[in-house]
Amino acid sequence: MSTNRFARKKRQFKRLSEQIQCLRHDGRWDHMDSSVQNKIANKLKNLFREIYAFFTRSELKRAVLAAGFIFAWSSAAVGQQFAAPQQNPFGLSTAYGPVINLTLMDIDQDGDLDLFGSGYYGNPLLYVNNGTPNNPSFGPGQLFPFGLSGIYSTYTGVADIDGDGDVDILASSSYAQYPYVWLYHQNIGTAQNPSFSGSQVNPFGLSISGPGIYFGKFADLDNDGDLDLFGTAKHSGSVYYYQNNGNDTIPSFGVEQTDPFGLTPTSIWATVSVGDIDMDGDLDVMGNTFTGDFIFFLNNGSSGNPLFGLAQMNLFGLTSSGDFGVSSAIGDLDNDGDLDILSVGYEYSHYGSTGGRFSYYENVDIGMGVEEQEIEVSVFPNPTDGHLDLEFMEHQTGTAHVVDLLGKKLMSKRFEESDGIRLDLGQVATGQYFIQIETENGSSLQKITKQ
C-alpha cells in the first residue's frame, strides 16, 4: 500500500471510530437498525484489517482502543494485550478476607514491587515481595504493618509525597472522631525500614467535599514534577482530582475537582489505577467496577494536559473475574518494561463474603505493527548505584528524563549535538525507573534499576 493511500485509510479509520463513539455517547447507536450497525461495523473492521500492519505499536494500541467497542460487539478477534489470568499467583492469598484499593509500590526500597492495600474493614494490609524484580514471591499478608493502626480507613496513596526518598501513606477515613477526612502518615523511619507517624488530619489543604470514602492513587497527571491525587468516591463512582500546586517536597493541593479531563463516573465501589499502559508518554486510567469488569480510559491528550476518551470495558483480552469488590493495581511485575495488572476480588452470597482470589494478567506484546523510530543508545551500568551513562550511536540533540513508575519526572538533562551524557543518580532513591530520551531524530524508553 502506498504511503498516501495508507494515510488516507488511517484518517478514514479514525473518523469512523470517532463517529461511532459519538453515536454511543448520545444513545443513537442503541436505536439503530441492526443492518445499519452491521454495515458500520464491517466497514470499520475491513479498514482495520487493511491497515493494521502499517501502524506503529502505540498507534496500534490506540486503534484497538478506539474501535474496541465494535470489535467486542461483533466478537471480532483483534489480538490480545493481556494474557489469561493466573489465579493466586506469586504465593498470594486472601487469608485476611477481601482487599481494597491495591497499590504496587517498592515500599522497602529493595528493587521489587510490594503490595499494599486495606482489609474490608479498613485495616492496613501489606504483602512484602521476597522475590526479585523478575520473579515476585510474596510473603503472607501482614495486618497493621510499620506501626499503622487505622481502622475504617481506605489507604489511598502510597508514594514519596514529601520528596525525602521514602514512601508516605495517605488514607481516607469515616470512623469515630474522623468523619470523612484525609489522614496522612509520614514515614519517620528510613527508605529501607519504614515507620509511620500518627495520623495528620486533612494535610496539605486537602478536604473531602461530601460523605463517603475515597479510593485513589498519587500520580503526576499534569507532568509538572509533583504528585497529584486522583481517584473515585466509593458510593457514587464519581472521579475526583486534587491538583498539587506546591512542589515535590512541599505539597499543596487545590480544591477538589469532580469528573475532570473528560472522565465520567463508573460505578459504586469502583477503584482506579494510573499508568502509561500504552507507553506513549502520558498516563492512562484503568478501573474496575464492583462486579469485576475492567474499564479503560485512554489519554488522548498529552502528558501535561490529559484528556480521556470514553470508558471502554474489558479490552485486550481482559474479562470479568466474576468476583465482587474487585480492585486492581498496575505495575511491571515481571520486569519486562510494560505494565501488568494484579487484581483481587471476593465471592458473595446472601451469607456474606465467602473468600476471594488474586488474579494476575501479564501484559504480552501483541506482535503486530512496525516499530516507532527509535534511536540507538546504550545505557550503562544497569543496575547502577550512582551515575548512569547514555552513549548514542550518532550525535543527538534532545532531553533525557528520569521517570518513576508513577510517571513523575525526577530529573531532566538537556544535550546538544552530543554522542553521550552522564546522569548523576546519587540523590535518587533505590528502585526501578524509566530513562526517557527524546531527540530530534527519535526517542527511546529504557528501564533501569538504582541500587
Together in a domain, 30 and 126 = no
pLDDT per residue as tens digits for the range 351-363: 455 567 899 999 8
- Please check whether residue 80 lies inside any domain of the structure: no
> At 194, is the pLDDT very low, low, confident or very high (cuts 50, 70, 90)?
very high
More confident position, 412 or 337: 412
- 55 with 96, same domain: the answer is no
Q: Give pLDDT tens digits for 246-260.
A: 988 999 999 999 889
What are the φ and ψ backbone dihedral angles of 436, each rounded to 5 degrees?
-105, 120
Give me the CATH number covering residue 412. 2.60.40.3080
Residue 105: what residue type? M
Instruction: Pick the closest to residue 298 from 282, 309, 312, 286 (CA basis).
Output: 309
Same domain, 161 and 225: yes
Segment 214-225, tens digit of pLDDT: 888 899 988 888
167 CB-near residues (< 8 Å, 6+ apart): 105, 106, 107, 158, 159, 160, 187, 191, 194
pLDDT tens, position by position, 325-345: 778 999 989 887 778 999 988
Confidence of residue 371 (pLDDT cuts 50, 70, 90): very low
pLDDT at 421 exceeding the cut of 90: yes
Kindly state the cell numbers that stand for 253.
493541593
Whether residue 196 sits in one domain with residue 110: yes
Q: Is the pLDDT of residue 368 over 50?
A: no
Region of poorest pLDDT, from 92-96, 124-128, 193-197, 391-395: 92-96
Q: Give the model's confidence band at 179: pLDDT under 50 very low, under 70 low, under 90 confident, else very high.
A: confident
Average pLDDT over residues 82-96: 88
Q: Are residues 201 and 291 both part of a single domain?
A: yes
pLDDT at 94 over 80: yes
If one counts the domains in the chain, the total is 3
Examine the domain organization and report whether 57 and 116 are in the same domain: no
- Does 169 reside within a domain? yes
Say if residue 54's pLDDT is above 80.
no
Q: How far is CA 305 from the centre of its chain?
A: 17
CB burial of residue 152 (10 Å; 0-12, 13-18, 19+): middle
Within a domain: 272: yes
| Burial status of residue 427 (CB atoms within 10 A of its CB: 0-12, 13-18, 19 or more) | exposed
Domain membership flag for residue 289: yes
Domain's final residue, options 17, 41, 73: 73
Torsions phi, psi for 352 (to 5 deg): 110, -170
Which band of pLDDT confidence, cut at 50, 70 and 90, is reported for residue 126?
very high
Cα–Cα distance, 95 to 97 (Å, whole number):
6
**Residue 440: inside a domain:** yes
pTM of the model: 0.70
Which CATH number goes with the domain that contains 330? 2.115.10.20
Most confident of 178-187, 204-213, 288-297, 381-390: 381-390
- Whether 80 shows a pLDDT value over 70: the answer reads no
- pLDDT at position 51, please? 65
Residues 339 and 418 in one domain: no
Residues 124 and 243 both lie in one domain: yes
Residue 394 domain-assigned? yes
pLDDT > 50? residue 154: yes
How far apart are the C-alpha atoms of 263 and 295, rounded to whole Å? 11
pLDDT at 391 over 80: yes
Using a 10 angstrom Cβ sphere, with 0-12 exposed, 13-18 middle and 19 or more buried, the burial of residue 31 is exposed
Is the pLDDT at 366 greater than 90? The verdict is no
Structure confidence by residue, pLDDT tens digits, 265-288? 766 667 888 888 766 677 888 888
pLDDT on residue 136 = 95
The last residue of a domain, from among 300, 328, 361: 361
396 and 446, same domain (yes or no) = yes
Range of the domain at 231: 86-361
Q: Mark whether 179 and 207 lie in a shared domain.
A: yes
Partners of 124 in the beta sheet?
Answer: 118
Instruction: Single out the residue in 40, 73, 106 at which a domain terminates.
Output: 73
Give the mean pLDDT of 109-125: 87
* Weakest-pLDDT range from 144-148, 306-310, 362-366, 408-412: 362-366
Do 15 and 132 sit in the same domain of this protein? no
Can you tell me the mean pLDDT for 176-181?
Answer: 70
Residues 325 and 402 in one domain: no
Is residue 142 predicted with pLDDT exceeding 80?
yes
Residue 81 lies in a domain: no
> Which contacts of 341-346 are long-range, i.e. CB under 8 A and separated by 24 or more positions?
341/82, 341/273, 341/286, 341/294, 342/89, 342/102, 342/104, 342/115, 343/85, 343/102, 343/288, 344/94, 344/98, 344/99, 344/102, 344/117, 345/98, 345/292, 345/321, 346/94, 346/97, 346/98
Least confident window among 14-23, 39-48, 285-294, 361-370? 361-370
pLDDT exceeds 50 at position 370: no
Q: Is residue 366 in a domain?
A: no
